[in-house]
Amino acid sequence: MRGYDATMATSPIAVPADPAPLAALLEAARAELPGVRLLTDEVDRESYRRDETAYLDAGLPGAVALPGTTADVAGLLRLASRHGVAVVPRGAGTGLSGGAAGIEGALTIALTRMDRILEIDRANLCVVTQPGVINATLKAAAAAEGLFYAPDPASYETCSIGGNLGTNAGGLCCVKYGQTRDAVLGLEVVLADGTVIRTGGRNVKDVAGYSLTHLFVGSQGTLGIITEATLRLRPAPGPRSTLLAFFADLDAAGEAVAGMTAAGLVPVTLELLDRETIAAVEDWHHLGLDTTAEAMLMVESDAPGAGAADEITRAEAACIAAGSHAVVRAADPQEADWLRQARRLALRALERQGTVRLEDVGVPRAAVPALLRAIARIAAAHGVRCATFGHAGDGNLHPNLIFAPDDPAAAELTHRVRDEIFRAALDLGGTVTAEHGIGAARREWLPIQRGDAAVAVMRSIKAALDPLGILNPGRVL
């Protein structure tokens, strides 16, 4: 059997030496897997080249397969193993690490057709779903039953549950409800050789053997393809109370975040926008935000009954104690929805200003002020325009480097600034990626952050589950 060339795994745009294995796979798939839709036209394949990490080089898939069932996925992976063809699992393609970007000549398997919610199980507070369901669709279906699906990436209207599981997505609710991993009870996964396994089910507690569920979540399609998930639902929380606090300096906003954490507040949302981001959002949405402020915090509480107003009052006190010069509460739930939506669109607002390279560093929460200072210092030292927003309550900030679209120095400057920001985050005990993933964009930093011994363990897990190295080669490891 001809395995996938291991040297290809070092480059996100590796070119397979020989197109014959893919041709053989496609011929067999047409004969054996009539339910699989295959795209081979160049125009169709082109639209699967990139995810949202547009600045990364990406390869043109040799073909794209759209399976309709778990059996289709198993059949495709059996053929990929037999013919030694690399496979890129893909959801909605909104990822920000190059994890779903094409590999030249490889097979992209897009799970978008597997888009059915199979069951909402009220008695067990869970939902069984296929991976192609859009996060917002799942939320709406749960809400229609008076239930709540918590994971809430800002891209929730476009990203898929499979992609959320693949990246262990975070978002705007993690302070209180955790990342996607915290909402997963069990998975159905197709392994590289086509074997189908189940890792859990509807049990709230289940400690039989190693936690394979948690191993697959966040593995970015390098260990298996998730074809079904059983996800935790919660009773729907009450309406949210929302606070905006404006600060004359970034440091004070960071201190307010640290103050709220130290005071034991667990708001559902604790987001930060710096001056550049506030201006970009205001320029687009005209919400009346204070564009003279250096920073804004958005705090939301969904505590039951009077608890929400109480939590927001305590958050307000922490903001004022840290130096906030203006605090405003949303007048009603609709205004709160507008504000949340505007925050979700912060990246799009910045993209109207130039080419944006978004990063995803995280630190222990008490170190948020120090990380904010470091980002501002590094950007200023290199003369790079930087807008920072993010999930400050989780210690997760997104510095966005903004360049003119034709700036010839952009690529090199991005690398230098990014490396210094990564180093600063690590020096603060943080991470080079809090929620977007290593993917293809940050691979060289994995051993620096985790150490060679930990990466060797990861490699042995990869080798055990995917001995031919066909699953998303060159991503993560």
Ligand X SMILES: Cc1cc2nc3c(=O)[nH]c(=O)nc-3n(C[C@H](O)[C@H](O)[C@H](O)COP(=O)(O)OP(=O)(O)OC[C@H]3O[C@@H](n4cnc5c(N)ncnc54)[C@H](O)[C@@H]3O)c2cc1C
- Footprint of ligand X on this chain (CB under 6 A)? 51-52, 89-96, 99-100, 111, 131, 153-155, 159-160, 162-164, 166-167, 169-171, 220-221, 225-226, 347-348, 435-436, 439, 472
d(C-alpha 291, C-alpha 449), whole Å: 37
Least CB distance to ligand X at residue 81 (A):
16
DSSP 233-292: -EEPP-PPEEEEEEESSHHHHHHHHHHHHHTT---SEEEEEEHHHHHHHHHHH-----TT
d(C-alpha 397, C-alpha 371), whole Å: 8
Residue 389 DSSP SS3: strand
Residue 150 DSSP SS3: coil
Least CB distance to ligand X at residue 291 (A):
22
Widest distance between CA atoms in the chain: 69
Least CB distance to ligand X at residue 474 (A):
11
Q: Which residue sits closest to ligand X, CB atoms considered?
A: 163
Residue 324 or residue 398: which is nearer to ligand X going by CB?
Answer: 398
The pairing of strands 87-90 and 107-110 is parallel
Return the number of other C-beta atoms located less than 10 Å from residue 202's C-beta: 16
> What is the identity of the amino acid at 410?
A
**Strands in 103-183 per DSSP E:** 107-110, 117-121, 126-129, 147-148
Residue 159 or residue 425: which is nearer to ligand X going by CB?
Answer: 159
Least CB distance to ligand X at residue 53 (A):
9
Supply φ then ψ for residue 400, to 5 degrees.
-115, 115
d(C-alpha 41, C-alpha 384), whole Å: 40
Query: Is there a contact between 401 and 418 (Cβ–Cβ < 8 Å)?
Result: yes
* Residue 137 vs residues 145, 161, 319, 341, 452: alpha-carbon distances, Å: 13, 10, 35, 16, 41
H-only helix segments in 47-120: 70-83
d(C-alpha 34, C-alpha 47), whole Å: 23
Query: Is there a contact between 87 and 99 (Cβ–Cβ < 8 Å)?
Result: no
d(C-alpha 334, C-alpha 339), whole Å: 9
Q: Find the helix or strand (DSSP H, E) in which 141 lies.
A: helix 135-144
Least CB distance to ligand X at residue 67 (A):
10
Residue 252 or residue 387: which is nearer to ligand X going by CB?
Answer: 387
Residue 12 or residue 221: which is nearer to ligand X going by CB?
Answer: 221
d(C-alpha 119, C-alpha 199), whole Å: 18
Residue 159 DSSP SS3: coil
Least CB distance to ligand X at residue 395 (A):
14
Query: Is there a contact between 52 and 95 (Cβ–Cβ < 8 Å)?
Result: yes
Residue 295 DSSP SS3: strand
Burial tier of 382 (Cβ tally within 10 Å: 0-12, 13-18, 19+): middle
